[in-house]
């Protein structure tokens, strides 16, 4: 499995990582814990060492599943790179709201460390893409204290905004910006900030939430407990994407690649800074994504 540096941090990460929003179940039709553990084990077996998660993914469940999977295989902590996030708060009715005040960050890191069964986080990311720029210094100061305390090694921001990305790059231990990017969408200016500032560009939505896997047709529909349930594949944006995918299918699937593998390859060709984190629920999905980076 090919590796890359996580920005200027010196940390080596696999060039394809695991995104765990879907296995948390929230907005993704529920979860199967045992199936998720098997999928993580399959990723480890194929050489993937890097995982991106967040407390709000299943309200702690995704972090807990990751910890359980690592524990069962007795993976040494230094052999896996864990990225998680902060900035979202919720209640017992699954209502969520934004909160990145210093005291909340302190509570979140404690909770994440407990759920992940570790004493440090490799990459800690602000999960609020449009957070108030006037409060950035407060967040950076809090994160630097967490670095000093040994609770995190490096940090970043999940934002598509180049101005916000540049503002975070001022932080001494900022090493990554997580942004949405795929064949259909992405902010080239934000990517340019990453390249200029030697930041990793961690890519969420690299498969356009499943469109680029080829599994949808004009007749497809999704259940109401799925974040994509409002998608209309017969008209509108998603219909246009299906049509566009048909036009580029032959290029993406050249040399016996699957559509998903071709879409991931396009990202790596677009920029060496990119580290896609495709989501997954099954062993088969993990194996397909991992194989995109194997010889």
Question: Rounded to whole angstroms, how far apart are CA atoms 105 and 99?
Answer: 8
The chain-wide mean pLDDT, for the chain, equals 97
Q: Would you place residue 175 in the very low, low, confident or very high pLDDT band (cuts 50, 70, 90)?
A: very high
- Closest among 124, 272, 290, 125 to 200, alpha carbons compared: 272
Q: What is the pLDDT of residue 197?
A: 98
Q: What's the pLDDT band for 231 if we cut at 50, 70, 90? A: very high
Does position 238 have pLDDT exceeding 90, yes or no?
yes
- Average pLDDT, integer, range 27-49: 96
Domain boundaries, the chain: 3-215+257-291
Strand bridging mode 200-204 / 274-276: parallel
Q: Is the pLDDT of residue 280 over 80?
A: yes
Q: pLDDT tens across 78-120, in order?
A: 999 999 999 999 999 999 999 999 999 999 999 999 999 999 9
Q: What is the pLDDT of residue 1?
A: 87
| pTM for the whole structure | 0.96
In this prediction, residue 294 carries a pLDDT of 78
Q: Could you give the C-alpha distances from 250 to 69, 242, 262, in angstroms and in order?
A: 37, 14, 10
Over residues 214-226, mean pLDDT: 95
pLDDT at 199 over 80: yes
- The catalytic residue positions are 57
Closest of 202, 175, 192 to residue 10, by C-alpha: 175
Instruction: Return the CATH superfamily for domain 3-215+257-291.
Output: NADP-dependent oxidoreductase domain (3.20.20.100)
- Closest by alpha carbon to 271, among 202, 175, 170, 174? 202
- pLDDT average, residue stretch 182-186: 97
Model pLDDT, residue 116: 98
Does 254 have pLDDT greater than 90?
yes
pLDDT at 262 (0 to 100): 97
Q: Smallest Cα–Cα separation from 15: which of 50, 54, 66, 52? A: 50
pLDDT score at 51:
98
Backbone angles phi, psi at 246, to 5 degrees: -60, -35
């Amino acid at each position: 499995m090919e590796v890359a540096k996580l920005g200027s941090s010196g940390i080596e990460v696999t060039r394809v990582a695991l995104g765990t929003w879907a296995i948390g179940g929230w907005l993704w039709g529920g979860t199967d814990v045992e199936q998720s553990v098997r999928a993580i084990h399959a990723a480890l077996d194929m050489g993937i060492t890097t995982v991106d998660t967040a407390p709000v993914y299943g309200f702690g469940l995704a972090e807990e599943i990751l910890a359980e999977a690592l524990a069962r295989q007795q993976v040494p902590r230094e052999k896996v790179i864990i990225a998680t996030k902060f900035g979202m708060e919720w209640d017992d009715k699954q209502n969520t709201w934004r909160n990145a005040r210093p005291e909340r960050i302190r509570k979140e890191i404690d909770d994440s460390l407990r759920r992940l069964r570790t004493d440090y986080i490799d990459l800690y990311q602000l999960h609020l893409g449009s957070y108030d720029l006037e409060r950035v210094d407060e967040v950076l100061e809090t994160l630097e204290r967490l670095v000093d305390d040994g609770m995190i090694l490096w940090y970043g921001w999940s934002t598509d905004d180049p101005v916000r990305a540049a503002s975070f790059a001022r932080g001494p231990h900022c090493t990554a910006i997580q942004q949405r990017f795929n064949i259909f969408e992405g902010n080239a200016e934000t990517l340019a900030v990453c390249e200029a500032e030697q930041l990793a560009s961690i890519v969420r939505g690299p498969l356009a939430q499943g469109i680029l896997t080829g599994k949808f047709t004009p007749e497809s529909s999704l259940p109401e407990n799925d974040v994509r349930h409002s998608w209309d594949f017969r008209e509108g944006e998603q219909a246009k994407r299906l049509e566009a995918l048909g036009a580029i299918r032959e290029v993406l699937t050249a040399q016996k690649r699957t559509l998903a593998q071709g879409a991931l390859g396009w990202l790596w060709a677009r920029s060496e800074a990119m580290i896609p984190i495709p989501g997954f629920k099954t062993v088969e999905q993990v194996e397909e994504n991992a194989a995109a980076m194997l010889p």
